[in-house]
Amino acid sequence: MQSPKILDNKNNGRVIDEIRKWLGKDTKLSIVSSYFTIYSFYALKKELSSIREARMILTDSSFAVSEKDMTEAKALRRNLIGGDTDEKEMLDSLTQSYIARECAKWVERKLSVRGFREDNPAALHILLAENGEDSSVVQGTVDMTSGGLGTVSSARTDANVAMYGEVYTRQFLSMFDQIWEDKSRVADIKKHILDTLQMLYEDQPPQFIYAITLYQIFKDYLDEIMDDRFTRTGFYHSVIWNKLYSFQKDGAKGIISKLEKYNGCILADSVGLGKTFTALAVIKYYELRNNRVLVLAPKRLRDNWTIYTQNDVRNVLVQDRFNYDVLNHTDLSRTSGMSGDIDLAGMNWGNYDLVVIDESHNFRNNVPTKGHITRYQRLMNDIIKAGVKTKVLMLSATPVNNRMNDIKNQIAFITEGNDRALQDRGINSIENVLRLAQTVFNQWNKTQDTDKSTDSFVSLMSARDPSYFRLLDILTIARSRKHISKYYDSTEIGTFPKRLAPINLYPGIDRKKQFPDIKNINTEIRGLTLAVYSPMAYLKLSKLTEYASRYDTKVNKGKSRFTQLDREQQLIGLIRVGMLKRMESSIHSFADTVRRIIDKIDQALDMMQKQKGAFDPSIHIGDFDEDDSALETLAWGSSVKVLFQDIDALRWIPDLQEDRKKLARILSLAEQVTPERDEKLEALTNIIREKTIHPINRGNKKIIIFTAFADTANYLYDNLLPLSQSLGLHQAVIVGSGKNRTSIKLLGKSVGRTDMSTLLTLFSPISKEASSTMPDVSDRIDLLIATDCISEGQNLQDCDYLINYDIHWNPVRIIQRFGRIDRIGSRNKAIQLVNFWPMENLEEYISLEKRVRGRMVLLDVSATGEENVIEENSGEEMHDLEYRRTQLEQLKHQVLDLEDISGSISITDLTFNDFRMDLAGFMKEDGKALETAPRGLHAVIGVTSDTGIAPGAIFLLKDERDKSKEKGMNPFTPHILLYVTDDGKVQWDVPNSKKALDLMKRLCHSAVKPDEEALKKWNLETKEGRVMDHYASLLKQAYAQASGFKEEEGMASLFSRGGLRISGGSRESAGFALEAFLILEAV
């Protein structure tokens, strides 16, 4: 009889070498092991396939647990059957599915298996082969794993004894049988084993691999995205919730999650995606929790919000009983008076649980102002910081344009100015992150590439530090129309209408050509001193210091000074630009403007004349309070007062008189251009007539005409009325602060008003649900003339034709205007944009703008980059004329999305919220499957050449190393997602791995069944997953990219397809684990 032998799987022999000698066709095998892996089977496949039978007891209890009691920890232990940490090399060979299938066949035919009901770490571990008198047993630490058999290098410390002959095996066999028959201790787990093996080898739907990927990347956020809280409040039964599209519902839930976790969120969905209704759903959620809600909106958008709080027939959400307060942005500058029904004097500003800020980019500047509290400061100190803890939701299609400071001041509302508020999310300093982002933006902006896209900025930023994107992901939700079209079911949400190529018109001013052309008028405008707006420039020298101490402002923490003279020069530049823009809008508007300036000059001259001879040297500007009534006659100016006696009349009066003379001459010429001579008006009437007679969508005669100026809007209304009547159209004009008008006779009807809400309902009756809100008004408005008071927050998709009668210098505003009709779910197949341009040669016009603009001061007062310290929005439209020219040229040829505008930054699609919402949906369907899914699963999906998607594989890796030194460079830390094409090229590096996830979503989100066509081709190529060298080599490239190693040799042979490979680990893969992968098969 052979003597016992020590087996330690290192220097004293391996278990597998001994076992192989014992296994024959008559062998009966009995095993007690902690775990069982497919790779231990595969190492002994030939021998195990020949034995008579096998029995196995697993001491780990995970297989004996019922599915309902299965925890993620136990699932991880059960899933070790697909490979443990010692078997990484085998896992990386990617033959798991083939080996699992082979193993399942063996288990079905040969193996009986039971498992301990409770963990028993002290249980006997044996591997016993019954061969009659030649029976043998290994007893000790042996396991049915590669490490336990000794087939791989392992950190295990094994101590086993091999014993030979029945004298030894009889006793061990008796002990085994005793456990085997004890039903109280062990349970039959063969079905669980086979089910787990089936999970490893069966063809997976691509959607499931996408879901696993999301679960692994975002499972730490599950507490944010699971929607138990919504169900408890009755939120899903509200009217507003059931009016939302699915993408809006996902957005609303994402916003609420961020508000709960971070106390704030910026909703930055692109134009036309219904941010107002999404925000209303969020408001409803908090009102159901008895929270007090305040909405802050620009005055022109106030009615968009107040309508839903009123018991009004036009309120389609009346059953939701909204009860939030609405204030204008400008109300933050007031301490008394009424705003709607709210008495500002007695208002408890600090008692709001949620503040919703519409058009939050209006607060992107925190400009220091001497002598009074700014709106920004009022909002921060009296509402957000004071009183109860306040959550902040901000709405803006453009929270970031070309300055990272734009978003810094908005984020400060969420963090209450705490720069380290997001430290626990790996952002140690918000200011530092944005400073670096500004540096990268400046670098990107200086490149010669004319196609400056958000994508190119993302690549540049990712190479430096993607913390900026993590910051956006934490605090923003931003989706583009491309994103919605790509990832949401069009049968549920509808489609966007087709954008026809823009129609560009270049009419002149005067049909008789007697009014000077724009170049000559520009020369006249440049020749004006506009002294009436700049009294500080005419101060007596002895008074300069006195006024500087009163009105100059220290900025940049006292390092710089911004003077009132600087402000006046900025103002004069804006007025010159404004005059040019009004002439571009309409000759009527231009004449009105010139007339108003003349009146202002006359007033200044008259007051100066009355004060002459009554000057008192003992009076000083410092003797008066700003609101002193005496200043009304003694001084010139509105907010900034200059005593007439302190002005050098010998310089000021001649300049005033000269300006008046020039302006009177210009006005005389302008007044001669009557509507009958107005060439631009004639072009407008022609295009209205053409569209009405030949509509682009059957039966649709609706047209919106946008203008920047109320006086142009009213001029058009008056002069288009005869045309409308002749064409059988009703028309209306909406001017915001002025009086709205319509040709429909509303008196005697249920709605007898011409407010904005009424007129818009009659103009777009389907989108505004007029049949239910105004059933007894049958007339409809077809021609709507409006200022930019309706350019945001309105769904007017009944209309299919939009005319820009004047071009707004900010291309964003043009896109926002078009967004009123360019909306998802539109009933129109096509929509048309018409642009009236001031000159055909845009570059020539830009040069005119540059000259007329004059000196407009910009002062660097911020550590993150430039910030215009003039009052909000002043000069912003003309900040970079060349940059605007490029954008406007683009808009001549096609209607763009905000995120496609060259030279600006859009944050849409830079965040992960939609992925988290997808995960929430998958968890709701079958979260247990995701929690218990084994590592290494894959799916195959077909890609065609016409999609531009190259075949290859997308690998989800987990970095199990210490990442402390690399923190912040990977958006999915500790996971890495890499797309490697069949030629071995990694498509996107680690910082850009979101693009790989975007691709997975695009391919897999709706792929709920295995792709049979792609699988058939792939199975032929890989012999049903047995020949996986090609994909293993792609995985090796992914590891190299992830670890930073670059292979320079052997590329020619690296991607050849060959036989089955079970080994071959590399230093690149050390510290990484493969979680799942998606194969992109060419079909």
Domain that includes residue 649, residue range: 518-612+631-675
* Cα angle for residues 784, 786, 790 (degrees, 5° grid): 105
- Given this model, what pLDDT does residue 615 score? 72
Q: How many CB atoms lie within 10 A of CB 874?
A: 18
Name the range with the highest mean pLDDT among 2-11, 220-229, 749-758, 963-972: 2-11
The predicted structure's pLDDT at residue 441: 82
In Å, what is the CA distance from 902 to each residue of 171, 364, 379, 877, 898? Answer: 81, 22, 33, 16, 9
Q: How many CB atoms lie within 10 A of CB 514?
A: 11
Pair 669, 683 in one domain: no
Measuring CA to CA, which residue among 952, 986, 984, 954 is closest to residue 1082?
952
Greater confidence (133 vs 44) lies with 44
In the listed set 836, 869, 904, which residue is the last one of a domain according to the structure?
Answer: 836
Instruction: Out of 425-429, 553-557, 860-864, pick the least confident.
Output: 860-864
Domain total of the chain = 5
Q: How confident is the model at residue 680 (pLDDT cuts 50, 70, 90)?
A: very high
Three-state secondary-structure class, residue 938:
strand
Q: Where are the beta strands (DSSP E) in 344-390?
A: 354-358
- Mean pLDDT value of segment 697-713: 96
In the chain, pLDDT over 70 holds for what percent of residues? 85
**Predicted confidence band at 290 (pLDDT cuts at 50, 70, 90)?**
very high
| Domain assignment of residue 913, yes or no | no
Q: How confident is the model at residue 748 (pLDDT cuts 50, 70, 90)?
A: very low
Q: Of 74 and 709, which is predicted with more confidence?
A: 709
Selection from 1082, 1005, 1011 nearest residue 483 by Cα: 1005
pLDDT at site 189: 93
Asked if residue 583 lies in contact with residue 806, where contact means CB atoms within 8 angstroms, the answer is no
What is the C-alpha to C-alpha distance for residues 461 and 438, in angstroms, rounded to an integer?
10
Are 455 and 590 in the same domain? no
Q: Return d(Cα 1044, Cα 965) in angstroms, integer.
A: 14
Q: What is the pLDDT of residue 873?
A: 39
* pLDDT for the residue numbered 993: 86
**What residues pair up with 28 in beta bridges, in sequence order?**
53, 130
pLDDT in tens, 900-938: 665 556 676 567 877 887 898 899 888 889 988 999 999
Calculate the CA 975 to chain-centre distance.
21
Which range (271-275, 324-328, 513-517) has the least confidence? 271-275
Judgement on whether residues 671 and 645 belong to the same structural domain of the protein = yes
| 655/702 same-domain check | no
User: Mind listing the pLDDT tens digit for each residue in 1026-1045?
Assistant: 999 999 999 999 999 988 73
Mean pLDDT of 217-236: 73
Please write the tens of the pLDDT for every residue from 980-1031. Answer: 999 999 998 887 888 899 999 999 998 999 999 999 999 999 999 999 999 9
pLDDT at 862: 26
656 and 683 share a domain? no
- Residue 195 tokens read as 């089910």
Note the maximum CA span of the chain. Answer: 135
Q: What pLDDT score does 879 carry?
A: 43
pLDDT of residue 497: 92
User: What tokens does 1036 get?
Assistant: 């090796």
Q: Read off the CATH number of the domain in which 128 is found.
A: 3.30.870
Residue 334 pLDDT greater than 90, yes or no: no
Task: Looking at the structure, tell me whether residues 468 and 529 fall in a common domain.
Answer: no
> What is the pairing mode between strands 53-58 and 642-643?
unpaired
DSSP string, 100-113: HHHHHHHHHHHEEE
Give tens-digit pLDDT for 149-191: 999 999 899 999 999 998 889 999 999 999 999 999 999 999 9
- pLDDT at position 63 over 80: no
* Buried/exposed code over 261-286 (b: 16+ C-beta within 10 A; e: otherwise): ebbbbbbbbbbbbbbbbbbbbbbbbb
| Whether residue 129 has pLDDT greater than 50 | yes
The pLDDT tens digits of the residues spanning 817-852 come to 998 999 888 899 999 999 999 887 777 777 766 655
Q: Is residue 865 part of a domain?
A: no
Domain boundary (836, 871, 900) is at 836
Nearest one of 217, 506, 367, 491 to 874, comparing CA atoms: 367
Contacts for 609 with CB less than 8 Å, ≥ 6 apart: none
Q: Which of 836, 861, 896 is the C-terminal boundary of a domain?
A: 836
- Please give the residue that has the higher pLDDT: either 668 or 426: 668
> What does the alpha-carbon distance between residue 561 and residue 567 come to, in Å, rounded to a whole number?
12
For the chain, the straight-line distance linking the first and the last C-alpha, in angstroms and rounded, comes to 63
Distance CA 334, CA 346 (A): 12
Q: Give the pLDDT score at 858.
A: 33
What pLDDT shows up at residue 654?
A: 95
Is residue 442 a contact partner of residue 430, using CB atoms and an 8 Å limit? no
687 and 779 assigned to the same domain:
yes
pLDDT-derived band at 861 (thresholds 50, 70, 90) equals very low
Tally of CB atoms within 10 A around 563: 16
Considering the domain architecture, whether residues 668 and 710 belong to the same structural domain is answered as no
Instruction: Indicate the pLDDT class of residue 867, thresholds 50, 70 and 90.
Output: very low
**Does the pLDDT at position 1046 exceed 60?**
no
What's the token pair of residue 456? 């190119």
Backbone φ and ψ for 1071, nearest 5 degrees, come out as 90, -5
pLDDT computed for residue 808 by the predictor:
80
Is there a single domain that holds both residue 659 and residue 682?
A: no
Q: Residue 780's pLDDT is what?
A: 93
Could you give the CA distance from residue 829 to residue 824 in angstroms, rounded to a whole number?
11
- For residues 481 and 227, which has the higher predicted lDDT (pLDDT)? 481
* Per-residue model confidence (pLDDT) at position 280: 97
77-127 per-position pLDDT tens digit: 778 899 988 999 999 999 999 999 999 999 999 999 999 988 776 778 999
Whether 711 is covered by a domain: the verdict is yes
* 557/522 same-domain check: yes
d(CA 848, CA 374): 34
Q: Give the three-class secondary structure for 504.
A: strand
Phi, psi dihedrals of residue 521, rounded to the nearest 5°: -65, -35
For the cut 60, the answer to whether the pLDDT of residue 196 exceeds it is: yes
pLDDT at 747: 52
Length of the chain: 1083
pLDDT score recorded for residue 909: 59
Residues 743/747/751/752 CA torsion (nearest 10 deg): 80
Is residue 848 domain-resident? no
Per residue in 753-782, pLDDT (tens digit) is: 788 888 999 999 999 888 877 887 888 999
DSSP characters over 833-857:
EEEE-S-S-HHHHHHHHHHHH----
DSSP letters along 314-352, please? T-TTGGG----EEEEGGGGG-SSSEETTEEGGG--TT--
Separation of alpha carbons 675 and 721, rounded Å: 13
List the CATH number of the domain containing 683: 3.40.50.300
pLDDT at 886: 67
Q: Is residue 957 part of a domain?
A: yes
CA distance 562 to 1035: 59
pTM (whole model) above 0.75: no
Q: Which two tokens stand for residue 382?
A: 């009296």
Residue 691 pLDDT grade (very low, low, confident, very high; cuts 50, 70, 90): very high
Is the residue at 9 inside a domain? yes
Whether 721 has a pLDDT exceeding 70, the answer reads: yes
- The pLDDT of residue 1047: 38
Instruction: Judge whether 212 lies within some domain.
Output: no
pLDDT averaged over every residue in the chain: 85
> In whole angstroms, what is the distance from residue 259 CA to residue 483 CA?
23
Give bridge partners of residue 160 from the DSSP assignment: 7
Which pLDDT tens digit goes with each residue over 389-418? Answer: 999 999 987 766 566 777 888 898 999 889
Kindly state the average pLDDT of the residues 953-968: 72
In this predicted structure, the answer to whether residue 30 has a pLDDT above a threshold of 90 is: yes
Residue that the structure tokens 């000259």 belong to: 851
Q: Does 888 reside within a domain?
A: no
Q: Which residues contact 529 (CB under 8 A, 6 or more apart)?
A: 655, 658, 659
Q: 273 with 376, same domain? A: yes
Query: Are 647 and 710 in a shared domain?
Result: no
Helical H runs in 190-274? 190-201, 206-218, 222-225, 228-233, 239-243, 246-262
Higher pLDDT, 630 or 810: 810
- What tens digit of pLDDT does each residue of 519-535 get? 888 889 889 999 999 99
